Amino acid sequence: MNLSDKNILITGGAGFIGSHLSKSMVDIAGQVKVIDNLSSGRISNLRGCINKSNFKFIKGDLLKPRILADVVKDCEMVFHLSANSEVRAGVNNPKIDFDQNLKATHNLLETLRKSKSIETLVFTSSSTVYGEPSVIPTPEGYGSMKPISLYGASKLGCESLISAHSNLYNFNSIIYRFANVVGSRSTHGVIFDFINKLNADNRELEILGNGNQTKSYIHVSDVIDAILLSLKKVERNIEIFNIGSEDQVNVKTIAEIVASEMGLKNTNMKCKGGDEGRGWPGDVEFMMLDIQKIKQLGWRPKYKSFDSVRLATKEIIEDLRSAFFLEPCFNEIVEARIRNQIRI
């Protein structure tokens, strides 16, 4: 698949993974548009894109579908990353996963159904669609899909909608099921939470669950590499790929990594307990994906889980330092340009 002459849309392109993808795409694609409502994404994440002649940012919400026809117009490829990205959020507010994941995806698919230009939809899903599988590492063809969180259920629902639309309305779809993605620009997850807790009080760190939750962690740079490589080799109408590392790390070890990178030596690690050791209702305790399918295309992760966590910790600490000094001014300038409807 040659992207150099493609018009590309990235939903949620100012977010954590989306901004890394946006930076890669603006360097290799014909035209790149990003739509983001900036509820969790940040304009500052797009520093490497906004001055490129082939890039355009649109502040908009997929829950307001009136604008989508113009946004999608002439786009041959759509990367759909817009979603609620915090698994825990749906526990107390179930509507957020329905609206931000299922409803937003439905609105986008309805627009694509009427589009005359769409060729390929790329969707970022999650390992949470598998629930608590009896087979670990878990392959894409694992048959008993029983999500235990509303986030996982909504992602699985999105996959089903995409599959049906691809078959009925004749466009290709690629679905990526991610392990825990970590790295710079992340604003949620265990590493980010630990850093914030230790910034507030470095004497004691509360660990949700029993600390033995053991999962795979993959650095965002490995994720982007996997996407770019597989795009060149996918041929079937609908493809599903797991993307993750081939090992695991537990939460206690992550806490120790974060404390070490923050230069802390005597922090008391206190596990809060929880339902069967979970960090919260819907938390999957053990996860590792089978990635043989995408490895057969020639990709493999550069970083193991431990190394991904350590690198991500360094990056997030630096992000927080930079944001304190640089981000407010940068965002103010760019937001003013958006309000004035200047193409950026």
| Catalytic-role residue among 151, 176, 217, 303 | 151
N-terminal to C-terminal alpha carbon distance within the chain: 27
Q: Got the DSSP string for 306-323?
A: HHHHHHHHHHHHHHHHHH
User: Residue 42: how many CB atoms within 10 A of its CB?
Assistant: 20
Tell me whether residue 151 is one of the annotated catalytic residues.
yes
Question: 87: which 2 tokens?
Answer: 């698994």
Beta strands 172-178 and 120-126 are parallel
Q: Do the Cβ atoms of 308 and 179 come closer than 8 Å?
A: no
d(CA 159, CA 176): 10
**How far is 186 from 321, CA to CA, in rounded Å?**
14
Sign of the Cα pseudo-torsion (319, 27, 239, 159, in order): positive
Integer Cα distance of 103 and 166 in angstroms: 17
Separation CA 46–CA 16 (nearest Å): 10
> Angle at which helices 190-200 and 305-325 pack, to 10 degrees?
50
Sign of the C-alpha dihedral computed for residues 91, 274, 205 and 126 taken in this order: negative
The residues annotated as belonging to the active site are 151
